[in-house]
Amino acid sequence: MEFHTQVSAGPAQQNPEKVKKLVVLTARVHPGESPASFICQGVIDFLVSQHPVAQTLRDHVIFKIVPMLNPDGVYLGNYRCSLMGFDLNRHWQEPSPWAHPTLHAVKQLIVQLSQDPVGLEFYIDVHAHSTMMNGFMYGNVFEEEERVQRQAVFPRLLCQNAPDFSFSNTSFNRDVVKAGTGRRFLGGLLDDTSYCYTLEVSFYSYMAAGSTSPVPYTEDTYMKLGRNVARTFLDYYRHNNFIDDNKLQISNHINSMEVLSQGRQGNGNGNGRTSGSERRAERKNQSITGEY
């Protein structure tokens, strides 16, 4: 059983002479972690939009997205396990086509992609966390200091884009208990030009820099974190000179594309939610300013 979405830019992306990067995102391997679906939805909505950042990304990057690794567990309302009672995020090493069909298919896809001439550069598995606040990442531990530093670049850039993402909560480890996770297994399988992360987000709230009180997460703010993840790929590839700044005409608004509205945090009722009229006004404003 295989579920994946490829975001394509049409004829321009079909040019075999055009070098592109390859990114794989997966989500909802633990069925009870529903915030992961909203983050994934935010990534997808942004990438298929007409926003100039999204258009530039589609010209340079191939995204393969698996929005639900555990559909049977989600259907049954399970918190962590599949229909067969397995925690799929502990079976990446040797998934069974019978007991872990989605994992088996996705692993085969990723192995195939890693052998493609384009090369697989990013794998990010999206989860939700029950005790910690904010969004944050888990990464792997390497012996080579240069690889360690390169691995930290993406979460640092995401921290600059997303006020609810915490680099201080981000950690890099090789916990034996996590050996069967996607992040750990693929981190050892793929070559040293690939980066594998687990993206976590709190079930309940985040603390923005300088804030003294937590802000409850909503469906909208989860999706906005997803949009910030997507646009961070542009920052990453600009930082590495893969995308030429001279060819972009979006510098005036890329940094102003604030997806966690400050007005929403101070709307007077303190619950971090936005009314329908406020959302309509926000969308109208975004269509005028070019923000997303």
123-163 pLDDT, tens digit per residue, is: 999 999 999 999 999 999 888 888 889 999 999 999 999 99
Mean pLDDT of the residues in the chain: 82
Q: Higher pLDDT residue, 12 or 224? A: 224
Please tell me the predicted confidence (pLDDT) of residue 292. 38
List, in sequence order, every residue forming a beta bridge with 196; answer none if it has no partner: 123
Find the mean pLDDT for residues 52-68: 96
Please tell me the predicted confidence (pLDDT) of residue 6. 53
Task: Give the integer Cα–Cα distance in Å for 217 and 205.
Answer: 5
244-258 pLDDT, tens digit per residue, is: 876 565 444 444 444
List, in sequence order, every residue forming a beta bridge with 138; answer none if it has no partner: 171, 198
Greatest distance between any 2 Cα atoms in the chain:
54
Task: Give the integer Cα–Cα distance in Å for 74 and 70.
Answer: 6
Q: Which residues are catalytic?
A: 200
Residue 153: partners with Cβ closer than 8 Å, 6 or more residues away: 236, 239
Q: Higher pLDDT residue, 36 or 1? A: 36
Question: Could you tell me the residue ranges of all domains in the chain?
Answer: 5-289
Please tell me the predicted confidence (pLDDT) of residue 176. 72
Task: Give the integer Cα–Cα distance in Å for 9 and 225.
Answer: 23
Strand, helix or coil for residue 64: strand
Task: Answer yes or no: pTM beyond 0.85.
Answer: no
Of 197, 204, 215, nearest to 158 (Cα)? 197
CATH class, range 5-289: alpha beta
Please tell me the predicted confidence (pLDDT) of residue 7. 53
